[in-house]
């Protein structure tokens, strides 16, 4: 008998070689990216709004549900967020910042409206499929999937149901929002900085390196969504200082959209959806209800502030901030206002989640006893 210690199989480290069992991972990554670009091109040819993100998202989600698990490139979502963050930051000017600051009262009211809408959705979920109180609350909260699933697990709720709900909510709203905005009018009349030219290659490379550093610094500073807002702050500073003038290259924005779309589509895990079919069906129905509620809230916001209806809708839509801001940029809407509203929402919901949970549990208990 060989008493020598057995060597563990090589694992795929961040900078190490792929283990034998992972030797096909690069092939799957390339195939997934090829699918994403092909789907984006096809979607752009048929005129689908936000084609280079929606096409890859729908294609990879369909493949995942059919049993082939797409494999996004490592950190692809973070890359997409960083590029979009820089692109948005470069659009900010002192005039735009001053104008956005006047909307702070409207942001507070809209954030409260979103919290009320999602709390009502949690009560509806309990009535529809009988999820426990905490699972229903974390499943419908307008916050990040990872954060809500972690909170759900820590408090003994069903983290898998929460993950399914958030994947379907974000996927549904990200799909519906561009189509709805297109129906409102695809061009919001906000000029694109692309008309002043794109950032040259060397400054662009330095900006991308700086974006990574900004994101890594934003994480310990507890800035929400650091891979988006860290680079956005960097872009804002560069634009305000006059060091950089221009916009991100269109091809780079396409690559970022494909990366985001593929990462979103890969969230739809067939095994998880099949284990929780009632939860998945309920999540889709509730997501459509959230879209309708956001459409109503946007009408009031537009009337009160003078923002276009498309901008108002994206500002209050309870979906991912990156996707909503990207939609605003592609549709030539007010990206500064959309960004500001989502920053307010994320900050408020992150700070008040447990307080809102206590209020919700009291309300749910009162309804159960009635």
pLDDT reported for residue 225: 81
pLDDT reported for residue 78: 92
What φ, ψ does residue 246 adopt, rounded to 5°?
125, -165
Report yes or no on 6 lying in a domain. Answer: no
Distance of CA 126 to the CA centre of its chain: 25
CA 34/CA 178 separation, integer angstroms: 23
3 or 16, higher pLDDT: 3
Residue whose pair of structure tokens reads 């662009």 in the numeric block: 204
Other Cβ atoms less than 10 A from the Cβ of 112: the count is 12
What φ, ψ does residue 198 adopt, rounded to 5°?
-100, 160
> Mean pLDDT across the stretch 266-280?
84
pLDDT reported for residue 207: 93
pLDDT reported for residue 21: 56
Confidence of residue 187 (pLDDT cuts 50, 70, 90): low
Report yes or no on 261 lying in a domain. Answer: yes
Report yes or no on 12 lying in a domain. Answer: no
Report yes or no on 310 lying in a domain. Answer: yes
Q: What is the pTM assigned to this prediction?
A: 0.80
pLDDT > 70? residue 153:
yes
Averaged pLDDT of the chain: 85
CATH number at 206 reads: 1.20.1530
Q: At what angle do helices 250-265 and 321-330 cross, to 10 degrees?
A: 140
Report yes or no on 165 lying in a domain. Answer: yes
Instruction: Write out the DSSP string of 131-184.
Output: --HHHHHHHH-SS-HHHHHHHHHHTTS-HHHHHHHHHHHHHHHHHHHHHHHHHH
Number of folded domains that form the chain? 1
Using a 10 angstrom Cβ sphere, with 0-12 exposed, 13-18 middle and 19 or more buried, the burial of residue 289 is middle
CA 228/CA 32 separation, integer angstroms: 23
CB 324 within 8 A of CB 177: yes
Report yes or no on 213 lying in a domain. Answer: yes
Report yes or no on 7 lying in a domain. Answer: no
194 or 34, higher pLDDT: 34
145 or 281, higher pLDDT: 281
245 or 61, higher pLDDT: 61
Report yes or no on 3 lying in a domain. Answer: no
> Mean pLDDT across the stretch 300-309?
93
User: 205-256, pLDDT tens digit by residue?
Assistant: 999 999 999 999 998 887 878 898 899 899 888 887 878 877 889 999 999 9
Using a 10 angstrom Cβ sphere, with 0-12 exposed, 13-18 middle and 19 or more buried, the burial of residue 252 is middle
- Of the ranges 119-128, 239-248, 289-298, which one carries the lowest mean pLDDT score? 239-248
pLDDT > 80? residue 299:
yes
Q: Residue 204: give the domain boundaries.
A: 24-69+77-369
Q: At what angle do helices 133-140 and 145-154 cross, to 10 degrees?
A: 170
């Amino acid at each position: 008998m060989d008493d020598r210690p057995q060597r563990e199989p090589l694992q795929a480290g961040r900078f190490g070689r792929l283990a034998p069992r992972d030797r096909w991972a690069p092939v799957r990554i390339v195939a997934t990216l090829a699918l994403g670009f092909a789907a984006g091109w096809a979607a752009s040819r048929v005129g689908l709004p936000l084609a280079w993100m929606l096409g890859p998202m729908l294609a990879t989600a369909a493949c995942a549900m059919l049993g082939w698990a797409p494999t996004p490139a490592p950190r692809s979502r973070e890359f997409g967020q960083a590029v979009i963050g820089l692109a948005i930051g470069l659009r900010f000017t002192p005039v735009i910042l001053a104008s956005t600051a006047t909307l702070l009262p409207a942001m507070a009211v809209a954030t409260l409206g979103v919290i009320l809408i999602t709390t009502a959705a949690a009560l509806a979920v309990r009535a529809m499929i009988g999820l426990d109180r905490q699972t229903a609350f974390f499943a419908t909260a307008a916050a990040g999937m990872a954060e809500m699933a972690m909170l759900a697990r820590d408090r003994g709720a069903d983290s898998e149901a929460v993950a399914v709900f958030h994947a379907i909510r974000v996927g549904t709203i990200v799909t519906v929002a561009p189509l709805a905005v297109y129906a409102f009018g695809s061009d919001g009349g906000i000029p694109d900085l692309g008309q002043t030219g794109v950032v040259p290659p060397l400054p662009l490379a330095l900006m991308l390196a700086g974006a990574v550093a900004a994101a890594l610094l934003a994480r310990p500073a507890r800035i929400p969504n650091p891979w988006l807002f860290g680079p956005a702050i960097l872009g804002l500073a560069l634009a305000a200082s006059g060091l950089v003038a221009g916009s991100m290259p269109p091809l780079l924005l396409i690559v970022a959209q494909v990366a985001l779309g593929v990462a979103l589509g890969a969230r739809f895990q067939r095994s998880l959806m099949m284990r929780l079919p009632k939860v998945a069906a309920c999540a889709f129905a509730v997501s459509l209800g959230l879209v309708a509620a956001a459409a109503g809230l946007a009408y009031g916001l537009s009337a009160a502030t003078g923002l276009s209806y498309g901008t108002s809708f994206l500002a209050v839509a309870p979906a991912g901030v990156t996707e909503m801001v990207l939609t605003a940029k592609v549709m030539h809407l007010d990206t500064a206002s959309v960004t500001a509203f989502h920053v307010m929402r994320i900050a408020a919901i992150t700070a008040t989640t447990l307080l809102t949970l206590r209020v919700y549990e009291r309300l749910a208990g009162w309804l159960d006893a009635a």
